Amino acid sequence: MALLRNGAYRIIDANLNRAREGLRVVEEIARFDLEDSPLASHLKSLRHEIATILKEVPGEALLAARDSSCDIGKSSHYDKHQDGKELSEILKASMVRTQEAMRVLEEFSRMIDFPAGKKFKDIRFRLYAIEKEITEKLNLSVRRQVVRNWKLYLILDKELIGNKNPLKVAAAATMGGVSAVQLRCKDITDKNAFLLVSRLRQFAPLQKVAIIVNDRLDVAVMTEADGVHLGQDDLPIKETRKLLGKKRIIGISTHNQKEAIEAEKEGADYVSVGPIFPTGTKKDAGSPVGVNKIAELKKALRVPLIAIGGINETNIKEVVSAGADVVAVAAVIIKAKDITEATKNLISRAGFPDDAKN
């Protein structure tokens, strides 16, 4: 019986350490990657709660039972293929490790008549809720970083393209440095929109480019596009997310700070603001908001900010200097005689941060 109790103490000791280590990894993700102070504090309090429970166990019994040098698990094969894991995989592994440790602690605390089983069970179920919360926040963080890396965003407006081949226009812009293309086709049938987006998705020169569909969520879902861009009168962001999934991007047009802040709260991956300057591309664009609006919104938001409307080689640097994360353009590229060179010229004049240039 003494041997059994000693084994139980050894298991409890190992799993207390395992739980605290796993929680610390998750806490660091919340603190340094997500920069989510409330969540990091919550995780820290859980670690302290476990430490408090630990004080109820005779410390000398745990230490006496510990035998790390003879632990057969220490020689487990190190899988080098696990190196280079994504942050989401590290998060998942650490959460599972901690949850499993809580389950083991719940069971083996009974063997030593340690009345903490219910506490460990309670922590385990709280961890399930935390895992869902932090996973959703991490997914959002990853999607927003993808957007920040775009820098130059082409609005492939079907009316502007005219008789040009949209695939060739997009490919030429991509060669110049565009890394995201939004298809705006208000006046074509659903079938033709589906076929056009499908061709864009399958076109070899565009395989590394994000393809975003304006308004038409059904087309975005069916073609497995990289995301959808919504207007203020389109479907709500939360409902759109249910249909689009966790990996793909949702952007939304905004016209003022109130709309932008609301979009951020709803989980938008980016907000666009404009027109920054006078534009003839979009008939219902409204009055120019100016570059000061970019600076104003940048102070109020954490979500990536995309500036759009009337932007060209003469004013793009002003837009970037004001704080725009990404610049969206249409006519200045689509109407250019040499689309690739026009795109390169825009990027060279923009003054994007060196570490984020395409």
Each residue's pLDDT tens digit, 318-345: 999 999 999 999 999 999 999 999 999 9
> Quick check: is 75 in a domain?
no
110 & 216 share domain: no
Please report the pLDDT score of residue 187 as a whole number: 83
E strands present in the chain: 152-157, 180-184, 210-214, 227-230, 249-254, 270-273, 305-308, 326-329
105 & 47 share domain: yes
108 & 156 share domain: no
281 & 253 share domain: yes
Residues 51-67: pLDDT tens digits? Answer: 888 777 665 555 555 56
The C-alpha atoms of residue 191 and residue 156 are separated, in whole angstroms, by 18
128 & 159 share domain: no
Please report the pLDDT score of residue 287 as a whole number: 86
Distance from the Cα of residue 127 to its chain's centroid: 21
> Quick check: is 79 in a domain?
no
- Tokens 């970083």 locate to 145
183 is in an annotated binding site: yes
226 & 188 share domain: yes
Written as one letter, the residue type at 222 is M
Q: Which of 109, 179, 253, 272 is catalytic?
A: 253
Q: Are 273 and 255 in contact (CB under 8 A)?
A: yes
The C-alpha atoms of residue 126 and residue 119 are separated, in whole angstroms, by 11
> Quick check: is 273 in a domain?
yes
Last residue in a domain, options 125, 144, 163: 144
215 is in an annotated binding site: yes
Q: Choose between 242 and 117: higher pLDDT.
A: 242
240 & 329 share domain: yes
282 labelled catalytic: yes
70 is in an annotated binding site: no
> Quick check: is 228 in a domain?
yes
Q: Choose between 319 and 355: higher pLDDT.
A: 319
> Quick check: is 80 in a domain?
no
Q: Which of 124, 216, 241, 282 is catalytic?
A: 282
20 labelled catalytic: no
Q: Are 346 and 313 in contact (CB under 8 A)?
A: yes
284 is in an annotated binding site: no
Last residue in a domain, options 144, 169, 191: 144
Please report the pLDDT score of residue 128 as a whole number: 96
Which domain, by its residues, includes 352?
149-356
> Quick check: is 72 in a domain?
no
Please report the pLDDT score of residue 336 as a whole number: 97
Q: 3-class SS at 60?
A: helix
Q: Are 69 and 53 in contact (CB under 8 A)?
A: no
Residues 12-25: pLDDT tens digits? Answer: 888 988 999 999 99
314 & 199 share domain: yes
What total number of domains does the chain contain?
Answer: 2
137 & 263 share domain: no
Please check the confidence at residue 3 and state whether its pLDDT lies above 50: no
68 labelled catalytic: no
Q: Are 205 and 181 in contact (CB under 8 A)?
A: no
Q: Are 108 and 12 in contact (CB under 8 A)?
A: yes
Residues 98-114: pLDDT tens digits? Answer: 999 999 999 988 777 67
Percent of the chain with pLDDT over 90: 75
312 & 213 share domain: yes
Percent of the chain with pLDDT over 70: 88
> Quick check: is 283 in a domain?
yes
Please report the pLDDT score of residue 80 as a whole number: 46
> Quick check: is 77 in a domain?
no
253 is in an annotated binding site: yes
Distance from the Cα of residue 48 to its chain's centroid: 30
Please report the pLDDT score of residue 143 as a whole number: 97
93 & 184 share domain: no
For residue 230, the cross-strand partners are 252
Last residue in a domain, options 127, 144, 161: 144
Q: Which of 184, 216, 248, 293 is catalytic?
A: 184
279 is in an annotated binding site: yes
184 & 328 share domain: yes
